[in-house]
Homo-oligomer: A and B are copies of this chain.
Amino acid sequence: MITVLSGGVGAARLLRALSGVMDPSELCAVVNVGDDLVLHGLTICPDLDTINYTLAGLNNDELGWGLRGETWRVNEELAALGGESWFRLGDRDLATHLYRTQRLAEGATKSQVTAELSRRWGVAVRLLPVTNDPIATEFDTEIGRLSFQEYFVRHQHDVRVHSVRVRDVEAARPTDEVLEALRGAERIVIAPSNPIISIDPILQVPGVREIVRRRSDDVVAVSPIINGVALKGPADRLLFELGHEVSCVGVADVYSGLVGRWIIDEADRDQTSALEERGLDVRVTTTVMARSDDARRLAEAVLA
């Protein structure tokens, strides 16, 4: 079993690539839920949905998020009513949220609902929300306290962040499946997701960081920073604003003590020695997964 600590898009692509070179039912994703939200009464789990949609082949490549063949009737009407329409909810996507919210109201856990959706879409990879307890990543910014999606979507992460915290994480418990997936995995992979707002909320759930640390020799991380920039999202800017070096070495320092092997991009080959000085085993390959053969090569490097 291979267990992947996962955010959204970057993790989804790595999981898809890994599914191509191994039995996907042996693949487990421990997924961030810090950016889950309740909006219009609906429970929305962006990272879980992004991964499920991508592995089901239902992802919208044009948008880079959401479902393919999406329509926007409800959101257009909502905007016409003067409702909050900045978090663009597609009609197909809404069905997922309606389904999840109803099942949660009936007493199902987030884990169960996720498994139901995966089964419905024929996704063999096991998607595990890191916890079924409510946690919420929040930002102290130059314009005040923002929830995750206010920061990420409403303000397009275009505000200066002073600090990030995960509300209620101290009281959260990882699920039993998550603990098993972390303890029993042959290898733990840290996906090239945002280290501050995708991976750290997973590590903050009590018990998770300790297991990863104990198993650091079996932990492989793929750098989300290539040549000083993030392929997608605000990882580079956040690293800078929170005082970290904006490089694969900077990310390695954020994950200090947790990772045995680092996979970095060809563009960062010159960082190899700085990483090796930190006692890390370094592999260099193309980490951009835009082309399927590159994605395959990265997946093979992760499993090597």
Measuring CB to CB, which residues of chain A are less than 8 angstroms from any residue of chain B? 38-43, 71, 73-78, 80-84, 89, 91-92, 94-99, 101-102, 104-105, 116-117, 120
Contact partner, A74, options B74, B80, B102, B116, Cβ 8 Å? B74
Q: Is the CB of B81 within 8 A of A95?
A: yes
- Max chain B C-beta neighbours (<10 A), residue from A38, A77, A92, A120: A77
A-B residue pairs, 4 tightest by C-beta: A77-B95, A41-B101, A40-B98, A41-B41
> Given the complex of chains A and B, what is the CA–CA distance between A43 and B75 in angstroms?
17
Q: Is the CB of B117 within 8 A of A95?
A: no
Could you jot down 17 A-B contacts, CB within 8 Å?
A40-B42, A40-B98, A40-B105, A41-B41, A41-B42, A41-B104, A71-B73, A73-B92, A74-B74, A74-B91, A77-B96, A81-B120, A82-B116, A83-B95, A83-B99, A84-B102, A89-B98
6 extra A-B contacts, CB within 8 A, seeds A74-B91, A83-B102, A89-B98:
A38-B41, A41-B105, A78-B95, A81-B96, A82-B116, A83-B95
- Max chain B C-beta neighbours (<10 A), residue from A74, A102, A116: A74
> Given the complex of chains A and B, what is the CA–CA distance between A73 and B73 in angstroms?
8
- Max chain B C-beta neighbours (<10 A), residue from A78, A96, A117, A120: A78
Copies of this chain present in the complex amount to 2
Q: Is the CB of A95 within 8 A of B120?
A: no
The distance from the CB of A199 to the nearest CB of chain B, in whole angstroms, is: 29
Provide the residues of chain B in CB contact with A81, threshold 8 Å.
95-96, 99, 117, 120
Q: Is the CB of A83 within 8 A of B98?
A: yes
Contact partner, A39, options B75, B77, B96, B102, Cβ 8 Å? B102
Contact partner, A40, options B84, B89, B101, Cβ 8 Å? B101
The distance from the CB of A53 to the nearest CB of chain B, in whole angstroms, is: 12
> Given the complex of chains A and B, what is the CA–CA distance between A81 and B103 in angstroms?
12
The distance from the CB of A73 to the nearest CB of chain B, in whole angstroms, is: 4
Provide the residues of chain B in CB contact with A104, threshold 8 Å.
41
Q: Is the CB of A102 within 8 A of B40?
A: yes
Provide the residues of chain B in CB contact with A74, threshold 8 Å.
74, 91-92, 94-95, 98
Q: Find the B residue at minimum CB distance from A43.
A: B41
Provide the residues of chain B in CB contact with A73, threshold 8 Å.
71, 73, 91-92
Provide the residues of chain B in CB contact with A71, threshold 8 Å.
73
Provide the residues of chain B in CB contact with A91, threshold 8 Å.
73-74, 77, 91
